[in-house]
């Protein structure tokens, strides 16, 4: 065991003495050491209950003969960080989380890791750490929030953001907004729709890094505590069998994850985080995989923000395991992939059943014939960009309109608030990419405001930044190369026509090459100014969104 290097032999007497100062007995020190990374904090609603989940994990480890050793990690609440400087720090926190777990695991010679997480960047950061360290590891989520209820209808956080848009349009009063604000988020857990956090928790299950149920069991259910105890026992079995993350995170496992993502209509951020996890695991990942599989994998779950169902509905209908069982009917899942149960995906899903055929539709009766996400390329995005096509209204799947150009999210949101965006416009928000922002901010406030104003039927939004998993409409992100790197999006001028063809996977700036060459010659490099040494370091080494925004 790795921990032997710090606990065996007479020369390690000082080390054992320090451990005894922490209250550990000789017989506990002799056990395998399982680092339990706890992302608890008191500001993220998805994390406020993680002490409870971590205690359950530790109980399972202890009962199965291991020594659980808890340590903390940071976490940013994307909802609270949204639409101000705070969002610049969200994506960069992913790498900090990965690095901090590596520091703790290697400095203290842990034999294994259980990674207790729940929200957007924390989940992939922990998965990246597991892949990089390649010691037995598994991910346990804290589970989704239940939906709120208002006037007999289910609502969630996205309802609040969109009600802000209605308020701007004069369709909701101050009292209406407060009523929604008070009802939308009834308790702990990751926000209730198929937003980024829940999408990534489902991805852990589809990759095989999380136990069955990881993605969908609600935070407040006792079943979630039982899953956490089982995870503690499962990590001890992984130690015994020496099953490590890179045994699980194969090319085929990532294909399974993309297939599930497409079927669920998950967050566009999976096109950022799955490549990053693959990079950490040493697996080649081309984002074109979303298009290749998207032609085969139908969109069979209509989840909030674009659909009526929430994560609790998906759990009731059979969860991720039932989705995979359904996809396996058409050979769309690699059933021989290994998982943290110690068994294959095929073995795991054999017991799964679809219990509601509206929540998880049959393959021959999908919500959409193609998958939920698409990668677009063209003269505006030579290296690609991403859209949640399942959340785009039919009238906006093909659109040509004049560019309304903004060099920051704040400028664009101010224009939306003052009703300066018109039907047919294509809002371009640039210099918000990984380098330009820096930090690749999410644009939930602009997209939700437009949707709340009813303009998701008429207006597209394009950015080299990102969109929240709660965004809907013709919201096209990760445009690469980004503006700060001199990509074509930096050359767009007010009034230029932009053509979007989502079924054709195309996005073009309708300006002739001679004019673009003239603009390119006159272009001056620009990035948003920030008063942060951390963000300055980040922008110097971060790659493009289409490469997962990893650090090189």
Backbone angles phi, psi at 100, to 5 degrees: -65, -35
What residues have CB less than 8 Å from 379, skipping those under 6 apart?
488, 508, 509
What's the CA gap between 286 and 546, in Å, rounded? 9
Environment class of residue 351 by beta-carbon count within 10 Å: exposed (0-12), middle (13-18) or buried (19+)? exposed
Whether 445 is a known active-site residue: answer: no
What's the CA gap between 411 and 10, in Å, rounded? 65
What residues have CB less than 8 Å from 54, skipping those under 6 apart?
36, 38, 40, 70, 116, 228
What is the DSSP track for 50-73? HHHHHHHHHHHHHHTT-EEEEEE-
Cis peptide bond prior to 305, omega within 30° of 0: yes
What's the CA gap between 550 and 552, in Å, rounded? 7
Tokens of 297: 């994998």
Q: How far is CA 485 from CA 75, 480, 525, in A?
A: 28, 9, 8
Distance of CA 484 to the CA centre of its chain: 24
Closest by alpha carbon to 376, among 392, 387, 360, 363? 387
| Helical segments of 174-269, H only | 174-183, 196-207, 222-241, 245-248, 251-264
Backbone angles phi, psi at 429, to 5 degrees: -115, 115
What is the DSSP track for 390-453? GGS-GGGSEEEEEEEEESSHHHHHHHHHTT---TT-EEEE-S-STTTTTS--B-HHHHHHHHHT
What's the CA gap between 346 and 283, in Å, rounded? 22
Supply the DSSP symbol for 32. Answer: P
What's the CA gap between 353 and 32, in Å, rounded? 37
What is the crossing angle of helices 409-417 and 444-452, to 10°?
20
Q: How far is CA 181 from CA 104, 190, 367, 401, in A?
A: 39, 16, 30, 34
What's the CA gap between 110 and 477, in Å, rounded? 39
What's the CA gap between 9 and 515, in Å, rounded? 73
Distance of CA 317 to the CA centre of its chain: 22
Backbone angles phi, psi at 187, to 5 degrees: 180, -165
CB 281, CB 361: distance < 8 Å: no
Choosing from 93, 190, 448, 468, the catalytic residue is 468
Beta bridge partners of 154: 149
Distance of CA 543 to the CA centre of its chain: 18
What's the CA gap between 478 and 465, in Å, rounded? 5
Handedness of CA 57, 136, 116, 22 (dihedral sign): positive
- Which residues have a catalytic role annotated? 468
């Amino acid at each position: 065991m790795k921990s032997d290097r710090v606990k065996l032999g007479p020369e390690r007497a000082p080390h054992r003495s320090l451990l005894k100062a922490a209250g550990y007995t000789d017989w506990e020190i002799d056990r395998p050491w399982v680092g339990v990374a706890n992302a608890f904090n008191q500001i993220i609603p998805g994390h406020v209950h993680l002490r409870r989940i971590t205690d359950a994990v530790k109980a399972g480890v202890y009962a199965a003969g291991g020594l659980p050793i808890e340590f903390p990690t940071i976490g940013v609440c994307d909802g609270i960080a949204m639409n101000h400087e705070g969002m610049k720090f969200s994506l960069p926190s992913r790498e900090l989380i990965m690095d901090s777990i590596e520091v703790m695991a290697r400095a203290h010679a842990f034999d294994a890791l259980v990674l207790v997480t729940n929200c957007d960047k924390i989940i992939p950061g922990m998965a990246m750490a597991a892949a990089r360290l390649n010691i037995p590891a598994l991910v346990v989520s804290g589970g989704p929030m239940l939906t709120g209820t208002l006037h007999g209808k289910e609502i969630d956080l996205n309802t609040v953001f969109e009600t802000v848009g209605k308020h701007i349009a004069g369709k909701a009063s101050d009292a209406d907004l407060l009523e929604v604000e008070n009802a939308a988020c009834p308790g702990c857990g990751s926000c209730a729709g198929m937003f980024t956090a829940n999408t990534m928790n489902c991805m852990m299950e589809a990759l095989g890094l999380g136990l069955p149920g990881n993605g969908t069991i609600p935070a407040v259910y006792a079943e979630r505590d039982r899953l956490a105890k089982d995870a503690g026992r499962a990590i001890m079995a992984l130690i015994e069998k020496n099953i490590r993350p890179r045994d699980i995170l194969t090319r085929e496992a990532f294909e399974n994850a993309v297939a599930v993502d497409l079927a669920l209509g998950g967050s566009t951020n999976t096109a950022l985080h799955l490549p990053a996890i693959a990079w950490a695991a040493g697996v080649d990942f081309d984002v074109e995989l979303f298009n290749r599989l998207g032609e085969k994998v139908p969109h069979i779950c209509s989840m909030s923000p674009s659909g009526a169902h929430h994560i609790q509905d998906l759990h009731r209908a059979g969860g991720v395991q039932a989705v995979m069982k359904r996809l396996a009917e058409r050979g769309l899942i690699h059933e021989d992939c290994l998982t943290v149960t110690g068994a294959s995906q095929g073995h795991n899903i054999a017991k799964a059943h679809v219990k509601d055929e509206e929540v998880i539709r049959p393959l021959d009766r999908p919500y959409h014939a193609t998958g939920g996400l698409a990668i677009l390329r063209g003269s505006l995005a030579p290296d690609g960009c991403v859209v949640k096509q399942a959340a785009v209204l039919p009238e906006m799947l093909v659109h040509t309109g004049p560019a309304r150009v903004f060099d920051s999210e704040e400028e664009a949101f101010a224009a939306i608030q003052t009703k300066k965006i018109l039907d047919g416009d294509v809002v371009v928000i640039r210099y918000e990419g990984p380098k330009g922002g820096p930090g690749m901010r999410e644009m939930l406030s602009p997209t939700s405001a437009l949707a709340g104003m009813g303009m998701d039927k008429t207006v597209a939004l394009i950015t080299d930044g990102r969109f929240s998993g709660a965004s809907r409409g013709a919201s096209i992100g990760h445009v690469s190369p980004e503006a700060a790197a001199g990509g074509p999006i930096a050359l767009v001028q007010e009034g230029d026509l932009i053509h979007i063809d989502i079924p054709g996977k195309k996005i073009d700036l309708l300006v002739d090459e001679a004019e673009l060459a003239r603009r390119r010659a006159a272009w001056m490099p620009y990035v948003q100014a920030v008063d942060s040494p951390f963000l300055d370091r980040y922008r110097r080494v971060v790659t493009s969104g289409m490469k997962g925004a990893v650090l090189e």
